[in-house]
Amino acid sequence: MTADDPVRDSLERFIGKPMGEGAVAPEEVNLPMIRHWVDALDDRNPIYLDEAVAAETRMGGVVAPPAMLQTWTMPSPVIAGIAERGGAPTAMKSENVVTALDAAGYVGTLATNSELEFERYLRVGDRLKTTSALESISPRKRTGLGLGYFVTWITTYWAGEDEIVGRQLFRIFKFDPSTMGGAA
Amino acid sequence: MSAGTIHVGDELPVFELPVTSTVIVAGAIASRDFMPAHHDSEYARGQGAPDMFMNILTTNGYVSKFITDWAGPEAMVKKIAIRLGGPAIPGQPLRFSGQVIAAEDKNDERVFEVTIRAANDLGDHATGTVVVSLPLEPSS
């Protein structure tokens, strides 16, 4: 417990808990979305679209670009009102550490770290889902943006019911923009 | 590339990405990220950013492309760990550089650790490490 920081104390209950309902990919890993990504990023690695070349590699056939991992489970957005929701694709259904910090005045968000790990490359037909857990919340810290908390969570990506195919550690700094430049 | 042609200390060929609004929007939508900050300059400026900026999924995608354009189609990316710095915005080319810092044989592959940096005139956009492997005996 930190006697001088009731906001931080109030967040302790979120640690180890899911960040929200897990996501289920709306579609299986599929060639049209892979092609869209390959064209958008001009990534011409032949293992993503050229079956003949991919079959000659240790991939044994076409695979999805690994960095697409998070793309497969991105929520279907409600475009209307997305700006008013601060960019959130849909309304937040449940309270989590982010909504609690917003409510406490720490409305600023800056992503600071992303760590993607891939257990295997995905293939057309894989159907992903995610689970998440809040790993840690730092003590209140002052940065150039003001006072805030570093919040770290881990999302686990599953294919089918029981196979882990990847993980992402994500860290953000949630800060109070009104405290920029002030004393700690 | 094959496992035997890469050595600790090797530097990767520099890749310069001319970042435009189209590059940013194309990556955002291909990654199904519809946050207005990644396609709407006016909205982004209203949030305190200098312009619309590249989303993290796209940054990770370009890091992967940077690595496999060098390592080739037998390469398997195992990990992309980045620390995020300044934004990637239109008109500011992103310069990707990297260096092999470790190599270790595990089972039938050689696993390389590569430090990477993507920077523009604002400073570092992303810095970190990528773990990538190549087979010890190519299958073809």
The mean pLDDT of B116-136, rounded to a whole number, is: 97
Predicted confidence (pLDDT) per residue in A26-62, tens digit: 999 999 999 999 999 999 999 999 999 999 999 999 9
Q: Helix (H, G, I), strand (E, B), or coil: what is residue B20?
A: coil
A98-149 pLDDT tens trace: 999 999 999 989 999 999 999 999 999 999 999 999 999 999 999 988 999 9
**Percentage of residues in chain B having pLDDT higher than 90:** 94
For B29-63, the DSSP string reads HHTT---GGGT-HHHHHHTT-SS----HHHHHHHH
Phi, psi of A150 (to 5 degrees): -85, 125
Indicate whether B140 belongs to any domain: no
Inside any domain, residue B96 = yes
pLDDT at residue number B140: 45
Q: Do A79 and B140 touch (CB under 8 A)?
A: no
Domain containing residue B98: 3-135
Amino acid making up residue B94? L
Number of domains in chain B: 1
Nearest to B36 among A45, A87, A169 (CB): A87
What CATH number did the domain enclosing B82 receive? 3.10.129.10
Asked whether the predicted pLDDT for residue A88 surpasses 90, the reply is no
Interface test with A, best of B15, B31, B70 (most A CBs within 10 A): B31
Cα separation, A133 vs B61, whole angstroms: 24
Q: Which of A134, A126, A136 is nearest to A156 (CA)?
A: A134
| Residue of B15, B69, B76, B140 best to disrupt the A interface, most CBs of A under 10 A | B76
The domains located in chain A, with CATH, are: 6-28+78-179 (3.10.129.10)
pLDDT at site A128: 97
Of B40, B83, B139, the CB nearest to A113: B83
Distance of alpha carbon B15 from alpha carbon B49, whole angstroms? 25
Ramachandran class of B55: left when φ > 0, alpha when ψ lies in -120 to 50, beta otherwise: beta
Question: A23: closest CA among A59, A78, A64, A72?
Answer: A72
Q: Does B103 fall in a domain?
A: yes
pLDDT, tens digit (0-9, with 9 covering 90-100), for B72-95: 999 999 999 999 999 999 999 999
**CA-to-CA distance for A77 and A68, rounded, in angstroms?**
17
Spell out which residues of chain A touch residue B20, defining contact as CB-CB under 8 Å: none
Residue B33 has pLDDT above 70, yes or no: yes
- Note the ipTM here: 0.95
Residue A2 has pLDDT above 70, yes or no: no
Q: What is the CA radius of gyration of chain A?
A: 19
Dihedral pair phi/psi, residue A155, rounded to 5°: -105, 130
* Rounded Cα distance, A32 and A36, in Å: 6
The radius of gyration of chain B from alpha carbons, rounded to an integer in Å, stands at 17
Yes or no, beta carbons of B60 and A56 under 8 Å apart: no
> What is the structure's pLDDT at B138?
52
